[in-house]
Amino acid sequence: MTGGSDRVPGHGIRRGEGPGRKVIAVMRQQFGDYQSEIYFNGLFGVVPKYPMAFDGWEKAAQAALPPSVWSYVAGGAGDEHTQRANVRAFERWALVPRMLVGAADRDLSVGLFGLTLPSPLLMSPVGVLGLCAQDGHGDLAAARAAALTGVPMIASTLSNDPLEDVAKELGDTPGFFQLYTPTDRELAASLVRRAEAAGFKGIVVTLDTWVTGWRPRDLSTSNFPQLRGHCLANYTSDPVFLAALEKAPQEDPGAVVSLFSRIFGNPLTWDDLSWLRSLTTLPLLLKGICHPEDARRARDAGVDGIYCSNHGGRQANGGLAALDALPGVVEAADGLPVLFDSGVRGGADIVKAVALGATAVGVGRPYAYGLALSGTEGAVHVLRSLLAEADLTMAVDGYPALADLPANIRPVH
């Protein structure tokens, strides 16, 4: 990733005149200062343009998105029990406040693969981001939100814009590339090489989506966006994929979809890990790990990080809430970074996940809804709101640093 980024207030925060231009002010602020900004604007009759919490983002996004896109983003597998369980799992853990500790300044920074990130918050990969923004370029809008907030983006293989274009919009904010491993190993290697060349800082291999889960919302409208030709830009810009087509993609879109459908799903096994590891010197993470034994095997196989997730309940119903799996995965990872997502709806959820051992915490639907509200601006608002709540939770509860969290979380019986 190249180019500069002028970050919005509350993020440690630079404001300048544009990418690569002179920075005219440097301010050190806390993420929670976003609320002061909102209250101060209210003195002049300015109220927020967008809702301030998840329920509002969700309702506004539903009104803004076409029904087919809405059902794809909001829906889950089966009767969506696991999706709901992911959210409810956070209610079973409580933070214990500590007083008189002087938490006027909080440090939310984390170290990850040699990077120092301003907070543990990440943007999880979402395969229909392009369709969430009104202009059809939601992947670029999300990358711009990453540049403005310092929140790293994990860019999906299923994108409406080529990964190189997404990387350029990230500015100084690091990004990671999520790989849906195709059955064509040459294509997989090509995608990874492109991600390396574009400047992504790691490869996140999703394990639980080699076949699509049973999703009644999508089935009721017979809607699968990629089979309609959406979000395939990383394929139609790849030389290996193009070489397998008889005509240019624009001349025969049906052939593009047909080839994609034949090569997309690769049911990986442990025997494939050495090959995946050989593709890159970048940090390699496995996404979808919820069992301690799988975490141990992945660690022993030489991966660099574990990503504890059940795909937000989108892939399999009836399973364990991802948060319930997290402590066991962290213990089995034995020091490897553990990323986490699934069910995160607010800043307090981020704090709880870190308290239970997550190195970094991803959100998916919240920022996708932000894109639906108003592209980059909407996503920035959502990310800043999440960070502000996380920061203020730590301030009020008396946690100056993330390291204070594990000793101050309790199960609720």
Which residues are identified as catalytic? 311
| CA distances from residue 66 to 61, 163, 170, 257, 330 in whole angstroms, order as listed | 9, 25, 27, 22, 39
Contact yes or no for 292/211 (Cβ under 8 A): no
Closest to 307 (Cα-Cα) out of 124, 130, 148: 124
What 8-state DSSP symbol labels residue 102? -
Rounded to an integer, what distance in angstroms lies between the CA atom of residue 77 and that of residue 16?
Answer: 45
Closest to 112 (Cα-Cα) out of 176, 157, 52: 176
Contact yes or no for 213/315 (Cβ under 8 A): yes
Tell me the one-letter amino acid at 193: R
CA torsion sign, 211 to 215 to 221 to 226? negative
Q: What is the distance, to the nearest Å, from the Cα of residue 25 to the centroid of all Cα atoms in its chain?
A: 30
Rounded to an integer, what distance in angstroms lies between the CA atom of residue 148 and that of residue 1?
Answer: 14
Closest to 140 (Cα-Cα) out of 157, 163, 174, 117: 163
Pairing between strand 93-95 and 409-411?
A: antiparallel
E strands along 270-391, which residues?
284-287, 305-308, 338-340, 360-363
Indicate the helix (H) or strand (E) that contains 206: strand 203-206
| CA distances from residue 307 to 129, 325, 329 in whole angstroms, order as listed | 20, 11, 9
